Structure 1
Amino acid sequence: METISILVDVQNVYYTTKQAYGRNFDYNKFWAKATGNRKVVKAVAYAIDRGDQKQKQFQNILKAIGFEVKLKPYIQRSDGSAKGDWD
């Protein structure tokens, strides 16, 4: 059986899908397509932590699908700019 690792940058996937296609990314469909008859060795979704309830629900959905969710704090700077990516 083939083994795979899945690494997802949640913010980049979200904004790219919104801008390019005007829709939301379906992580359930992605998981089904990517895993198929493969064994998942590791699956990590990298995201930012803004602390809001809707985001926490989304993170729980990712966990239920099979992702380990790694969070980086969202930082609002005094000049109004923000930092929260994994780049």
Structure 2
Amino acid sequence: MAEIHPNQRVAVLVDAQNLYHTAQSLYSRNIDYSSLLEKSVQGRELTRAISYVIRADAPDEERFFEALVDIGFETKIKDIKTFGDGSKKADWDVGMSLDAVTLANHVDTVVLCTGDGDFSRLCSHLRHEGVRAEVMAFKQSTAEELIEAADSFVDLSEREETFLL
């Protein structure tokens, strides 16, 4: 697969729920999205940065969404669904995958910021299409098949001072 070079066009796709819950459960801290974006681009040409978020009517979530935009992310927001039995569900797996496949014709690299193993097949597909697939997540909660499917993996846990607030 292609090595990293300054003219590489990069799309950064962030599974905000996955990163948030992992950072909270492991460290009781929040993600530094500004550093995440900067380090994921690594001096290359940013084509798109999209953060996939869930609206759960939590305090300060609108401020969080606005902060993501200020940092440079396009936000895609999905409302949480509550079912008759009281269970709740909301995820962006299909939306992120469709965006990655669509962007693949316009970028050299897709950086997936998630530890969700459901994206391992997406990494394999991107690589097959000649697109570099990079993953950034916390290794403790990242599926091994996702790490193996990516061209590179950055363990956010190894640089807590950079990636956590």
TM-score band (shorter)? Answer: 0.7 to 0.9
| Superposition deviation, residue 72 in structure 1 | 1.2
| Residue matched to 1:47 | 53
What letter corresponds to residue 20 of structure 2 in structure 1? Y
| Residue matched to 2:85 | 79
Greater strand share, structure number: 1
RMSD: 1.6
Residues 1:25 and 2:31 are matched in the alignment: yes
| Superposition deviation, residue 2 in structure 1 | 2.1
Residues 1:62 and 2:68 are matched in the alignment: yes
**For the residues of structure 1 that align with 2:59 and 2:76, how far apart are their CA atoms?**
17
**For the residues of structure 2 that align with 1:51 and 1:70, how far apart are their CA atoms?**
15
Within the candidate set 14, 18, 21, 2:20 is matched to 14
Greater helix share, structure number: 2
- For structure 2, the 5+ residue unaligned runs are 1-6, 94-165
Structure 1 or 2, whichever has the larger Rg, is 2
| Superposition deviation, residue 51 in structure 1 | 4.1
**For the residues of structure 2 that align with 1:52 and 1:38, how far apart are their CA atoms?**
35
What letter corresponds to residue 45 of structure 2 in structure 1? K
Identity %: 37
| Superposition deviation, residue 49 in structure 1 | 1.8
Query: Larger relative CO (CA 8 A, sep 6+): 1 or 2?
Result: 1
What letter corresponds to residue 36 of structure 1 in structure 2? Q
Aligned residues: 87
- For structure 1, the 5+ residue unaligned runs are none
